[in-house]
Amino acid sequence: MSSLTLRLDSGQVLGLLGVNGAGKSTTLAMIAGALAPDSGAIKLNGKDFLEHPELARRVIGWLPERAPLWPELTVSEHLEAHGRLRGLRGAELAQARRRIVERLELGTLARRLAGVLSQGQRQRLGLACALLHGPHLLVLDEPANALDPVQVAALRGVIREQAAAGTAIILSTHLLAEVTAACDRVAILHEGQLRYDSAIEGGDHKALEQTFFDIAMRGNGSNNRMQAA
């Protein structure tokens, strides 16, 4: 990755577009605190996570591309473990678990081992773990991968709900339709650089598609088209 500046407001959904290998997952891992950048700052409400990594624990929720789960633990144990890692305890943890199990309809899976879940169920559990502690910033790396259309619609519902509640969301994908359906801003990464950053206006899919292909195929359409969000 090279110099990348992104600013996201509360309640905003940013779609991070790019071809495979563009640097989306690396960027999101850095934002989530899983990977340390060589330089720079990642701030939420003016506080830098790199200087205070424990802050990320309470305010960021992260769902990596392949939901990371411990195959030998049950769905319920995952929620418990994630809650504790994110600083939830006692009644607060129990309440958060109840709320997320109900919202993502995980009740029937609660005692099932993560190792035997289907891909869609794994993704749902990963999302539950990311949302459990009520994060202010939600980082989703290709969350619609391996989901069927019904699950994709449900996921969009959750994203809209979270955004309406004031959560800032970054959603990485290589699907243009996903961005236009769920996001109100789009940023395009190419070869580790930010090439485009703009609000999505009136669902202009064709223009966005053209821009994306310009950047992805020819590597141009870059700085001169970049706009401040």
User: By rule CB under 8 A, what count of residues binds other proteins?
Assistant: 29
User: Contact between 201 and other proteins (CB under 8 A)?
Assistant: no
Judged by DSSP in three states, 107 sits in helix
Please identify, among the stretches 40-48, 84-92, 186-194, 204-212, the one whose residues bind other proteins according to the rule CB under 8 A. Answer: 84-92
Give the x-and-dash track for 44-83 against other proteins (CB under 8 A): ---------xxxxx--x-x-x-x-xxxxxx---x---xx-
Find, among 53, 134, 49, the residue nearest to 96 by Cα: 134
Q: Of 9, 10, 21, 35, which lies in the binding site for other proteins, with binding defined by CB under 8 A?
A: 35
Strands (DSSP E) contained in the chain are: 13-17, 43-44, 47-48, 60-63, 137-141, 168-173, 185-190, 193-199
> For the chain, percent helix, then strand, then coil, each to nearest 5?
45, 15, 40
d(CA 169, CA 190): 20
Write out the binding residues for other proteins, residues 158-177 only, by CB under 8 A. Answer: none
How close are the terminal C-alpha atoms of the chain, in Å? 20
Site membership for other proteins, residue 36 (CB under 8 A):
yes
Would you say how long the chain is, in residues? Answer: 229
Paired residues of 221 in beta bridges = none
CB of 84 vs other proteins, minimal distance in Å: 4
Q: Are 102 and 110 in contact (CB under 8 A)?
A: no
User: CB–CB of 164/10 below 8 Å?
Assistant: no
**Rounded to the nearest whole angstrom, what is the least distance from the CB of residue 80 to other proteins in the complex?**
9
Contacts with other proteins, 109-148, as mask; x by CB under 8 A: ----------------------------------------
Pick the closer one to other proteins by CB: 69 or 110. 69
Nearer to other proteins, 70 or 213 (CB): 70
Least distance between other proteins and beta carbon 184 (Å): 25
Residue ranges that bind other proteins, judged by CB under 8 A: 26, 29, 32-36, 53-57, 60, 62, 64, 66, 68-73, 77, 81-82, 84-87
